[in-house]
Amino acid sequence: MAKVNTVLGEISDNELGVTLMHEHLVFAYLGWECDALAPPYDREAAFTACVEALKEAKNYGLKTLVDATATDMGRDIELQKMVSDKLGINIICATGFYTEKFGKAGYFKFRSQSYDITAELCETLVKEITQGIGDTGVKAGVIKVATGHARISSYEEKMLKAAARAQKETGVPIITHTEAGTMGPEQADLLVSEGVDPKRVAIGHMCGNSDLNYHLSVLEKGVNIAFDRLGIGVIFPDRLRIACLIALLGIGYTDRILLSQDCFAYRMGRPYEFSDEVKSLLANWTYVHVFKNIIPALKEAGVSEDKINTLMVGNPRRLFGGE
C-alpha cells in the first residue's frame, strides 16, 4: 500500500477513490500581472469560485482531485488547502514546469550558460516532494511537465530528464501536457529511456488526437494515457474523443486510461470574453462533464460499470501505487 502526498497530509493510495487526474483550481499565464488593467488576485474570490464549482462534482462522488498547476502557472497551495478542507476532498498538488513558450523558462535558461540545469531542476522537484513547498508545509504528490507543439525544445528535454530523475528518487508519478495531439510518443520514449517506471507515467491531453495509431504508439511504451481535456470542444470535438476512447477500451486498454477535463474555476488576469460560437463549444467544460456526459455516453455504448470504476478509481490508484 503506497502513501500519497495531499495538501492536508499523507494518505494511502486506496483512499483516493473517484479521482479526476488533471484539473486546476486557478490558472494564470506568465505575465498576467504586467497587465495594468488586470484585477489583483483575490484568494477569497477564488476560494468561493472553486467551492461552488466543485460542489456538484463531490455530489457525483468525487473523492480526489489532482491539481496539475505547475510551479509557473499560478499555483496557490494555501487555496488548495482551503478548498480541500472545506469540501472534504483530497487535493494532490503538483511540482513541475510548463512549456518553454508559456512557462517561466528564462531563469533556468540563463543559468544553463554556467550550470547543469537538469540537476537544478531535479533538485527543485525533489525538494518540493520530500521537504515541502516554501513554508506551506505541503509536499507535492505528482510531477507535472510539458512540451510544446510538434517539438520538444532543448529546455523541455532537460525538464523531462529532471522529472525522470526526480521520479526515480521519490517514487511519485509523472503527468504531462502535450500540445494539440503531438509529442506523446516522444515524451514516453524520453521518460522511459531515462529509467522511469512506465506504470508511474501518464501522458496527458492524448484526446487532442483521434488517430488510434498515435495512441497505440504511446501505449506500447507501457505508460498510461490521459483523456483529460474532455469538454474543451474549441480544441477538439468530444464525439471523436469518445469514439477513440470506446475503441481503446474495446481492444483491451481499460487499465491504462485516465479521464479528466483540465478545468479551472478562477483565471488570473483581465476577464476574457469569448464569442458566442466559442461559448457554445465550451458549454460542457466543467468539473462534472465526465460524470454527467462522458460516463453516460460510455455506458450507452456498452461499457460496463466495472470498466468505468477502473477508469475513475482503479487506474489513478495504480498510477500512484505503482502497480
Give per-residue pLDDT as tens, 225-272: 999 999 999 999 999 999 999 999 999 999 999 999 999 999 999 998
Instruction: State the burial class of residue 141 (Cβ atoms within 10 Å of its Cβ: 0-12, 13-18, 19+).
Output: buried
For 279, half-sphere exposure in the C-beta direction (CA atoms, 13 angstrom radius) is 5
Distance between first and last Cα of the chain = 10
Give dist(CA 198, CA 216) in Å, integer. 15
Q: Would you place residue 163 in the very low, low, confident or very high pLDDT band (cuts 50, 70, 90)?
A: very high
Mean pLDDT across 151-169: 98
pLDDT, one tens digit per residue, over 50-104 is: 999 999 999 999 999 999 999 999 999 999 999 999 999 999 999 999 999 999 9
Angle between helices 154-170 and 117-130 (to 10 degrees): 40
Ordered by where they begin, the domains of the chain are: 30-321 (3.20.20.140)
Q: Would you place residue 8 in the very low, low, confident or very high pLDDT band (cuts 50, 70, 90)?
A: very high
Alpha-carbon radius of gyration of the chain = 18
pLDDT for residue 118: 98
Give dist(CA 228, CA 184) in Å, integer. 14
Q: Is 172 helix (H, G, I), strand (E, B) or coil?
A: coil
For 104, half-sphere exposure in the C-beta direction (CA atoms, 13 angstrom radius) is 15
Give dist(CA 17, CA 13) in Å, integer. 8
Place of cell 521520479: 167
Rounded to the nearest 10°, the torsion over CA 231, 234, 239, 244 is -90
pLDDT, one tens digit per residue, over 25-55 is: 999 999 999 999 999 999 999 999 999 999 9
Answer whether residue 323 shows pLDDT above 80.
Answer: no
C-alpha cell read off for 90: 483530497
Taking the alpha carbons of 173, 144, 19, 210 in that order, is the dihedral positive or negative?
Answer: negative
